[in-house]
Structure 1
Amino acid sequence: MNNNNTNQTFPNNAWYVAAWDAEVGRHLLARTICGQDIVLYRRLDGRAAALADACWHRLVPLSVGSLVGDEVICGYHGLRFNDSGRCTYMPSQETLNPAACVRSYPLQERHRFVWIWPGDPALADPNLIPDLGWFDDPDWAGDGRMTEVESDYRLVIDNLMDLTHETYVHSSSIGNEALAEAPFEPSHGAKTASITRWVLNEEAPPFWAAQLGKPGPVDRWQYIHFLAPAIVVLDVGVAPAGTGAPEGDRSQGVSMWVIHIPTPSTEKTCYYFWCHLRNYRIHDQGLTRRIMDAAGGILREDEDIIEAQQRAINKNPGRDFNNLNIDSGSLWARRRINDMIAEENSTRIHVVSVA
């Protein structure tokens, strides 16, 4: 597979996570999503808003200005913009230039995230936001974070679609030799790719042994679900060997939904949102904190590997990847992303030709 088979690495007509809902408040938050500089804030009524982060007048970032009421004030000459992007004040003149506006972006808040649509606003259907209902389910508890990664977001997806790397990158926490040798089953749909893996009657790695709290071998499962362009959900857990987990009875074990959302910032950087949700000891805040600390360490190990990979790619432009059987999930994921890009570009060309 050629890593540079297209100049465009992400579709624009899609919902991306721009921030955790708690990150957006009565202040100006600068983010770059799909190469577009954006400023986010909350109106007085609590609704989130997003504008292009460049003043119409002299392109100074609005994020270095101030928020007064529901209006963003440019920190250079004081032009004011409301949440629809319309300029409401210009210094030293009463007549406002009707062209004085900045782009306003469609936003939706769902599942503790602020979602943004950086493409054609006419296509921003809220029904396209993926269902991450565990965030809203009282039977599941947990928390998450965001880290900025110096890599193409697709490298994060590659990493998640092949969890055999846990054997080598995370040997002290969630990996062991049995995982790398276990068989797996790939599948895919129009915008999805999945990998299923079971490790039966083997010793649990340290993290999972601590979560289970029972001695002896375990049956371990990994269901990896990708939804284009940038959502990976892991259904993972362990149960004492022979207690029925492979047949569907997980009652003797522990389960987690691990949400991974690498939002492309630029072609070589991304915002990596992640969250661990569990269905056991859900009122134990201490456990939540310990899981977060452990998961943060695991993610830092991934970040080190992925950023090293990106640096190598930068030094070897045009160099091809070589693939193994274990790469089938990431290959399908990239195809689904490329399909979205191709569809978007085809639609754009068709509209231009008709016009």
Structure 2
Amino acid sequence: MATKNTTFTMNESFPMNAWYAVAWDVELKHALLPRTICNKALVLYRKLDGTAVALEDACWHRLLPLSKGNLRGDTVVCGYHGLEYNNEGQCTYMPSQETINPSACVRSYPIVEKYRFVWVWMGDPALADTRKIPDMHWNSDPEWAGDGKMIEVKCNYRLVVDNLMDLTHETFVHSESIGDRNVAEAPFDVHYDDKTATVTRWMRGIKPPPFWHRQLNKKLKFDGLVDRWQIIKFEAPCTVNIDVGVAITNTGAPQGDRSQGVNGYVLNTITPSTNQTCYYFWAFSRNYNLKDQSNTTELKDGVTSIFAQDEIILEAQQKAINANPTREFYNLNIDAGAMWARRITDKLVELENQY
């Protein structure tokens, strides 16, 4: 059954009181890195001791982006008139002036590193509780191995969340790798609470698609039927972790015994940059062949190709939305997970707007 929902397409808002990934840990160096998060320009860098810093990317004096300047030790030097700022955003030097205006500062943002990502809190600093960082421990857990990338996608971040919450598109967009008709035809369950939404799909006794057939044969030489699973968990406002894998059919995978199969996690956190652009951080972690670097590289390259196909679809979708601003989305049963993800995020925005 199809239903209309006017706000489903065009709601471009995002909560500010949230942790957003701004960089992979390896991206951040002792150099100025500009990133736009939630329509706010930031400049990121590491101090000499390795500590991460996030400042407003606009000099107090004439608003030139500080990222156009340089670092002198741990001090940011504006590239226009040489004003200097410490890691807390306070101006410590003004040219030709003995007295520094006490209002001369730029905003400093709470910033932490966890699960190989660098996270920034864009809202009220007093609410920046690190326990609210979404769980992505598979990305740094020694019992799992993997890697990933960041993609700059020219679409609203919610379109990426939509894409991940409904994997029916695999059948049509990724038919040569992970997609087959079973994904589109298999039943699924949706559960939700005030912060998360989970879509669970089991495909039992099927022929594995090419990607999973290759992965299973790295652990078990097997060419028969498998049970395949996709357990997609959204955590507001923009993190989607997907428990995926295949196991030899009728060996207990649906009941929790995955020993006769291979298991991975597709880790995704999508950070709004502007209303129509986002940073898409992803990783693929596995719990088999942990020391096989070639397997890690193969998976990273394979998922890169898969997500490049999604990028084409999402950017074309955003262009179509822009060209048809009064059009509405129609929601099918397969959109249930995405609809709940949007409703949960809308509620966060609504609560913030009450204050």
TM-score range for the pair, normalised by the shorter chain length: over 0.9
Aligned equivalent of 1:45: 49
Q: Which residues of structure 2 form unaligned runs of 5+?
A: none
Query: How much is the aligned-residue C-alpha RMSD, in angstroms?
Result: 1.1
Instruction: Give distance in 1, aligned partners of 2:278 and 2:326.
Output: 21
> Against the structure 1 CA distance between its residues 139 and 321, is the aligned structure 2 distance closer, same or farther, given a 3 Å change threshold?
same
Aligned equivalent of 1:236: 244
Instruction: Give distance in 2, aligned partners of 1:220 and 1:7.
Output: 34
Q: Which residues of structure 1 form unaligned runs of 5+?
A: 349-355
Instruction: Spell out, residue by residue over 1:137-188, the C-alpha distance to the aligned partner (whole angstroms, 9 max, x if none).
Output: 2110000100100000000000000001000000000000111100000010
Q: Is the CA contact 1:3–1:319 (under 8 Å) kept in the aligned structure 2? A: no
Report whether the alignment pairs 1:184 with 2:192. no
Aligned equivalent of 1:353: none
Q: Is the CA contact 2:139–2:283 (under 8 Å) kept in the aligned structure 1? A: no
**Residue identity matched to 2:313:** I
Shift in Å at residue 39 of structure 1? 0.2
> Following superposition of structure 1 onto structure 2, how do residues 80-91 of structure 1 map, counting pairs within 5 Å?
80-91=84-95
**Residue identity matched to 1:227:** E
What SS does the corresponding residue of 2:313 show, helix, strand or coil?
helix
> Among 310, 317, 321, which residue is 2:318 paired with?
310
> Against the structure 1 CA distance between its residues 278 and 156, is the aligned structure 2 distance closer, same or farther, given a 3 Å change threshold?
same
Give the stretch that moved more between structures: 127-136 or 269-278: 127-136
**Residue identity matched to 1:167:** T
What SS does the corresponding residue of 2:271 show, helix, strand or coil?
strand
Report whether the alignment pairs 1:62 with 2:87. no
> Following superposition of structure 1 onto structure 2, how do residues 87-126 of structure 1 map, counting pairs within 5 Å?
87-126=91-130
What SS does the corresponding residue of 1:297 show, helix, strand or coil?
helix
What SS does the corresponding residue of 1:11 show, helix, strand or coil?
coil
Aligned equivalent of 2:204: 200
Q: Is the CA contact 2:90–2:106 (under 8 Å) kept in the aligned structure 1? A: yes
Report whether the alignment pairs 1:342 with 2:346. no
Q: Is the CA contact 1:259–1:276 (under 8 Å) kept in the aligned structure 2? A: yes
> Among 137, 147, 163, which residue is 1:159 paired with?
163
Shift in Å at residue 8 of structure 1? 5.1
Report whether the alignment pairs 1:250 with 2:246. no
Instruction: Give distance in 1, aligned partners of 2:10 and 2:121.
Output: 22
**Residue identity matched to 1:215:** D
Aligned equivalent of 2:229: 221
Shift in Å at residue 318 of structure 1? 2.7
Shift in Å at residue 312 of structure 1? 0.3
**Residue identity matched to 1:224:** I
> Among 290, 295, 306, which residue is 1:298 paired with?
306
Shift in Å at residue 248 of structure 1? 1.2
Instruction: Give distance in 2, aligned partners of 1:296 and 1:6.
Output: 28
Instruction: Give distance in 1, aligned partners of 2:251 and 2:27.
Output: 42
> Among 268, 274, 279, which residue is 1:271 paired with?
279
Aligned equivalent of 1:284: 292
Instruction: Give distance in 2, aligned partners of 1:319 and 1:42.
Output: 45
Instruction: Give distance in 1, aligned partners of 2:272 and 2:29.
Output: 22
Work out the number of aligned pairs and report it.
347
Shift in Å at residue 2 of structure 1? 1.7
Q: Is the CA contact 2:9–2:329 (under 8 Å) kept in the aligned structure 1? A: no
Aligned equivalent of 1:27: 31
